[in-house]
Amino acid sequence: MALREIRVMGDPVLTKVCREVTEVTPKITELIDDMFETMYEANGVGLAAPQVGILKRIVVIDVGEGPIVLINPKIVETSGEQTGDEGCLSLPGKAGVVTRPNYVKVQAFDEDMNRIELEGEELLARAFCHEIDHLDGHMYTEKVEGGLHDVGAVSDEDEE
Ligand SMILES: [Zn+2]
């Protein structure tokens, strides 16, 4: 496994539409392992392949409930609404308020190209939407309400 370089906003690779995966080759298995390592190292909860410069429809997510791999994911159902801060490893140090569905159902393939269907609420639903947007060349900044703000180290002031 190896860390990959996370592309930052302004890199044209982040604006491209990614290609579907037809076969999970050893190279793709290695990419997925590297994406997890890169995401965990950066303390992220999700990473899409274009963020490491690969234009394939692959997403990794871990919101604290275990690793999830999504290949060729599609959102098939949404409901409700949540409004809250969202950030992105491709825009370090920034966050902004984005409204997303509170419930999302996704169909995809797993690492063995088995069909899977997953449901998520709250943070997981947000991660599904955010990462799948990356596969179509979209950043959360297009959906931000009221501009971006800086996020630094966690401070006690946030409690008050
Ligand atoms: Zn992102």
Set 65, 119, 131, 157: catalytic member: 131
Range of the domain at 45: 12-153
pLDDT score for 94: 96
Residue 23 bears catalytic tag = no
pLDDT for res 160: 41
131 in a structural domain: yes
How much is the pTM? Answer: 0.93
- Select from 99, 98, 116 the least CA-distant residue to 107: 116
Asked whether residue 25 is domain-assigned, the answer is yes
Residue 7 belongs to a domain: no
Residue entry with tokens 């690779």: 13
pLDDT digit string (tens) for 78-96? Answer: 999 999 999 999 999 999 9
Inform me whether the pLDDT recorded for 154 exceeds 70: no
Q: What is the three-state SS of 74-110?
A: EEEEEECCEEEEECCCCCCCEEEEEEECCEEEEEEEC
Domain presence at residue 119 = yes
* CA 43 to ligand 1 center in whole angstroms: 12
Q: From CA 6, how far away is CA 73, in angstroms rounded? A: 21
For ligand 1, the distance from its centroid to the CA atom of residue 46, given in whole angstroms, is 7
Sorted by sequence, the CB contacts under 8 Å of residue 139 that are 6+ apart come out as 9, 14, 88, 90, 91, 133
Q: Tell whether 149 is covered by a domain.
A: yes
Q: Number of folded domains in the chain?
A: 1
pLDDT in tens, 18-38: 999 999 999 999 999 999 999
Interacting residues of 114 by C-beta distance below 8 A, sequence separation 6+: none
Residue numbers in the known binding site for Fe cation are: 88, 130, 134
Separation of CA 44 and ligand 1 centre (Å): 9
Angle at Cα 22 formed by Cα 18 and Cα 26, nearest 5°? 100
Any idea what the CATH number is for the domain that residue 89 is in?
3.90.45.10
The answer as to whether 3 is a domain residue is no
Listed residues: CB within 5 A of ion ligand 1:
88
Cα 129 to averaged position of ligand 1 atoms, centre (Å) = 10
Nearest to 89 by CA among 50, 136, 118, 32: 50
Query: Tens digits of per-residue pLDDT, 119-150?
Result: 999 999 999 999 999 999 999 999 999 999 99
Confidence of residue 159 (pLDDT cuts 50, 70, 90): very low
- Domain assignment present for residue 159? The answer is no
Q: How far is the CA of 8 from the centre of ligand 1 (A)?
A: 10
**Whole-angstrom distance, CA of residue 11 vs CA of residue 51:** 9
Q: What is the DSSP string of 10-78?
A: T-GGGGSPPBPP----HHHHHHHHHHHHHHHHTT-SEEEGGGGT--BSEEEE-SSS--EEEEEEEEEEE
Distance (Å, whole) CA 134 – CA 21: 15
The binding site consists of: 88, 130, 134
